[in-house]
Amino acid sequence: MEHICLDLEGVLVPEIWAEVAKHTGEDKFKLTTQDLKDYSELMDMRMELVRSLNINMKDINDIVDSMEPFEGAREFLDWVRDNFQLTIVSDSFYELTWPLIRKLGTPSINCHYLDIQDGELKGYKLRQSNNKQKVVQALKEMKFTVFASGDSYNDIQMLNEADYGVFFQAPEHIKDEFPNIDVVNSHTELKELFISKSQFVERGE
């Protein structure tokens, strides 16, 4: 049995904190895991910005509620779930992503937790270190063949750990740094690649 692990932001939905940047005017929110390799450094910076700008969780939730998945992402996920096992593996947070997950048809997601107290965002709690890589390792231990796709530095361990990993619309500097990892630029290309790499039998109608 084959299991597909997909990153969320950058593959299925826009970057949430980049959207926060648009609403607040704070350009530092535009920095993502495509820019910084140290995820804790990135999140610590975001938490400090949230505190300094007095942004509460309702403000962020309102922004996320207004966002939509990428065009074709829901249809792509419906196809994946018809034909493979699927887990979204994200370094985002349940409390942040849930409106978008619902718009994607509520697929299974493995991610982290926010520390919210009286409506204020106080910090974050990682599920575990190297979570994406460990999710793939656990699936392989259960005898799944694992395919994975992501777009950023924090996806590299997952892509390398998978039986087959591929970049989705990764920026040029990341593609240049990891030339051993294949690249696709659309969900149609990703679908075709998964079919070509699998023992594929169409199960959907």
pLDDT tens per residue, range 1-16: 899 999 999 999 999 9
pLDDT confidence band for 200 (50 / 70 / 90): low
Please report, rounded to a whole number, the percentage of residues in the chain having pLDDT higher than 70. 97
Answer yes or no: 7 catalytic: yes
- CATH code where residue 76 lies: 3.40.50.1000
Q: What is the 3-state secondary structure (H, E, C) of 97-163?
A: HHHHHHHCCCCCEEEEEEEEECCEEEEEECCCCCHHHHHHHHHHHCCCEEEEEECCHHHHHHHHHCC
Answer yes or no: 91 catalytic: no
Q: Which pLDDT does position 1 carry in this prediction?
A: 84
Phi, psi of 56 (to 5 degrees): -100, 175
Q: Is the pLDDT of residue 205 over 70?
A: no
Q: Is the pLDDT of residue 199 over 80?
A: no
| Structure confidence by residue, pLDDT tens digits, 124-149 | 999 998 999 999 999 999 999 999 99
Total domains present in the chain:
1
Residue 51 domain-assigned? Answer: no
Q: pTM score, two decimals?
A: 0.93
Catalytic residue among 9, 91, 95, 161: 9
Residue 103 domain-assigned? Answer: yes
Residue 56 domain-assigned? Answer: no
Shortest CA distance to 46 belongs to which of 111, 91, 110, 12?
A: 91
Rounded to whole angstroms, the Cα distance separating 76 from 81 reads 9
Residue 20 domain-assigned? Answer: no
Contact 5, 142 (CB under 8 A): no
Catalytic residue among 7, 19, 155, 161: 7
| Structure confidence by residue, pLDDT tens digits, 17-41 | 999 999 999 999 999 999 999 999 9
Residue 100 domain-assigned? Answer: yes
CA 103 to chain centre: 15
How many residues in total does the chain contain? Answer: 205
Give the three-state DSSP class for 51.
Answer: helix
Residue 49 domain-assigned? Answer: no
Residue 183 domain-assigned? Answer: yes
Rounded to whole angstroms, the Cα distance separating 147 from 118 reads 40
Bridge partners of residue 85, in order along the sequence: 3
Rounded to whole angstroms, the Cα distance separating 98 from 70 reads 16
Contact 120, 57 (CB under 8 A): yes
| Structure confidence by residue, pLDDT tens digits, 56-100 | 999 999 999 999 999 999 999 999 999 999 999 999 999 999 999
- Residue 108 structural domain: 2-15+67-197
Residue 191 domain-assigned? Answer: yes
